[in-house]
Amino acid sequence: MSESPSSAVSSPLATIWTLAVVTFKRLRRGKAMWIGVGLAALPIAYAIARRARGAAVAPDELFAAAMVLLALLPAMFVASSVGEDIEDRTSTYLWSRAIPRWAVLAGKLCALAPVVIVLLAGSWYATIQLGAPASPSLSSVLAMVAGCIAASLIAAGIATVVPKHGMVLSIGYLLVDNFIGAMPFSLAELSITHQATLLAMLDGPHPIATPLFVMALVSGLWAAIGVVRIGRLEV
Amino acid sequence: MTSGIVVADHCSKWYGHVLGVSEVTWTLGRGIVGLLGPNGAGKSTLIKMMAGLLRPSRGSLTVYGARPFDDVAVRRRIGYAPEHDATWDELTALELVTAMARLAGVPAAKAGRAAEDAIAQMGMTAAMHRRVRGFSKGMRQRTKLATAIAHDPDFVLLDEPLTGVDPIARADIVERIKQLGAAGKTIVVSSHVLYEIEALTSDIVVIYRGQVLAEGNVYEIRRLIDRHPHRIRVECDQPRAIAAALAPEDHIARLSFERGGIVIETRDPDRCYDQLASAVLAANVTVSALSSPDNNLGAVFEYLTGDGGRR
């Protein structure tokens, strides 16, 4: 307790690391982690059940199921964490500290996006291994990782706009994104699940530049909304 | 510009059409200052503006010459304990306070020690490895205070730090806040209970309907408030034991039983709280909550600000 009043504030990296560690610790001790694990296990169980009945499942069918999980897990983890801190006013502890507010979002994303990635990419890998006739391609795993990152950024942005209903609206947004992505219209190009499916190259090689660009654009837009919004919020 | 730790210049804050603080011009010096006013008076709004959580809608408010909402560095010098109870309940007290110290700029190597020191100052060492989820109201208040001081701020903002805590914990927290003041911190404490503020300081700012009504000498307001019975609501398992102990006292204006407790009206709050603590200990009463509804303070302020009232 001997720091001088003029001592420097924490660096952004140190702040993000501290917030990430705390966020992960809270997640590990809560129920959401186990609900997420249970949800991630559903496609694996489905694939095993189908395989046991002698009917291997096509990878694109399993990927579509994984895309539905992509609508659930980022919302459950990221949107609820960001939204609850604002809604419960625990954010007052953070925002009264000598830290930039964007670092709060970054810290949460650094803790929670990897959890989403491990659960979804892990689920995808295990599902294909156990349920499909082939091993999962590297491109499909990387597509899942890119989808998780994009969906986490979108969920974070939505939660800053509507903290109270951040999780529900994020799920709704990403389900609509799924629906739009399945439509045979040009609007589907704006869907991150559609772009993730293209990236996965399940039906043959595709150029990756456009899917990556669209995913970065859409998720970057939501992340920017989140950063601007959290900088202006008053609690 | 006027010198002072906090300088508010015609500072106003609206929440949509609702007025939080209106045209406050005020300078805060050093020491412990009590912010007194009924609920909804604007105390929390003013404190949140000082903590950098709210931005003035009009006018300006600076802390150490900087605007705390926009200036990250000045918040390093501020410690803030909010009014609400919500916190990260999954963490232990030590983890919570350490994290807050780190976020306030204390280096990683020193944060754990700083947190332990702050927790010790608040008398929470024995419980520091327990999760906050299981804490009583008083323990939560102490933990919040520890998060506010762990980074050794110059300026500490405590929003209703005594709300809901039992008399013994209340006296202990008051003593610990006074120790912080004696250590050279500038502290702003808000409350809607005059005697709580008086126990900490005689330097009082009276705020009502978003405006600073008076500051400095409190004797006149004290005299006016004493004319009105002071209400204390005690939630406990043996309200009749408390009633039996207090009923003979001449300062008791009224005793009434409510579900799960008793409401005491007294003309001498200081004596009443002392006797209440004695009664609780003597009868081994379990007190789950203690609060002081601010109806009486509101009535006095209505009188002060009314057409024929005095300022």
Chain A residues lying within 8 Å of B53, measured CB to CB? 92, 95-96, 234-235
CA distances in angstroms from A38 to A44, A45, A123, A171, listed in the order given: 10, 10, 10, 17
pLDDT of B133 higher than 70: yes
**Residue B225 confidence (pLDDT):** 63
Chain A residues lying within 8 Å of B52, measured CB to CB? 95-96
Average pLDDT on B79-105 reads: 95
Compute the mean pLDDT over every residue in chain A, rounded to the nearest whole number.
Answer: 91
How do residues A70-129 score in pLDDT, each as one tens digit? 999 999 999 999 999 999 999 999 999 999 999 999 999 999 999 999 999 999 999 988
Contact B73 A9 (CB under 8 A): yes
pLDDT of B260 higher than 60: yes
Residue A2 lies in a domain: no
DSSP string, chain A: ----TTPPPPPHHHHHHHHHHHHHHHHHHSSHHHHHHHHHHHHHHHHHHHHHTT-PPPHHHHHHHHHHHHHHHHIIIIIHHHHHHHHSSTHHHHHTSSS-HHHHHHHHHHHHHHHHHHHHHHHHHHHHHHHSSSPPPHHHHHHHHHHHHHHHHHHHHHHHHSSTTHHHHHHHHHHHHHHHHTSSSGGGGG-HHHHHHHHHTTTS---SHHHHHHHHHHHHHHHHHHHHHHHH---
pLDDT of A178 higher than 70: yes
Chain A residues lying within 8 Å of B87, measured CB to CB? 90, 93
pLDDT of B56 higher than 80: yes
pLDDT of B310 higher than 70: no
Domain total in chain A: 1
How do residues B188-213 score in pLDDT, each as one tens digit? 999 988 778 888 887 889 898 899 88
pLDDT of A158 higher than 90: yes
Nearest residue, CB atoms, B103 vs list A1, A8, A97: A97
**Residue B309 confidence (pLDDT):** 39
Residue A3 lies in a domain: no
Q: What is the SS3 assignment for chain B?
A: CCCCCEEEEEEEEEECCEEEEEEEEEEECCCEEEEECCCCCCHHHHHHHHHCCCCCCEEEEEECCECCCCCCHHHHHEEEECCCCCCCCCCEHHHHHHHHHHHCCCCHHHHHHHHHHHHHHCCCHHHCCCEHHHCCHHHHHHHHHHHHHCCCCCEEEEECCCCCCCHHHHHHHHHHHHHHHHCCCEEEEEECCHHHHHHHCCCEEEEECCEEEEEECCHHHHHHHHHCCEEEEEEECCHHHHHHHHCCCCCEEEEEEECCEEEEEECCHHHHHHHHHHHHHHCCCCEEEEECCCHHHHHHHHHHHCCCCCC
**Residue B288 confidence (pLDDT):** 85
Contact A97 B100 (CB under 8 A): yes
Contact A95 B53 (CB under 8 A): yes
Cross-strand bridge partners of residue B9: B60
Q: Which of A212-221, B193-202, B278-287 has the lowest mean pLDDT?
A: B193-202
**Residue A183 confidence (pLDDT):** 85
Domains and CATH numbers, chain B: 6-217 (3.40.50.300), 229-305 (3.30.70.100)
Chain B residues lying within 8 Å of A5, measured CB to CB? 76-77, 153-154
Establish, for the pair of chains A and B, how many residue pairs have beta carbons separated by less than 8 Å: 101
pLDDT of A1 higher than 50: no
Between CA B158 and CA A149 the distance in angstroms is: 39
Chain B residues lying within 8 Å of A88, measured CB to CB? 86
Residue A5 lies in a domain: no
Where does the pLDDT of residue A7 fall: very low under 50, low under 70, confident under 90, or very high at 90 and above?
low
pLDDT of B66 higher than 70: yes
Average pLDDT on A132-146 reads: 88
Nearest chain B residue to A12, by CA: B103
Range of the domain at A61: 12-232
Chain A residues lying within 8 Å of B106, measured CB to CB? 3
What is the model's pTM? 0.83
**Residue A5 confidence (pLDDT):** 43
Nearest residue, CB atoms, B82 vs list A9, A29, A89: A89
Contact A26 B114 (CB under 8 A): no
Residues of B in CB contact (< 8 Å) with A are 48, 51-55, 72-78, 80, 82, 84, 86-88, 90-91, 95, 99-100, 102-106, 108, 110, 114, 117-118, 131, 147, 150-154
**Residue A59 confidence (pLDDT):** 83
pLDDT of B220 higher than 70: no
Average pLDDT on A209-234 reads: 95
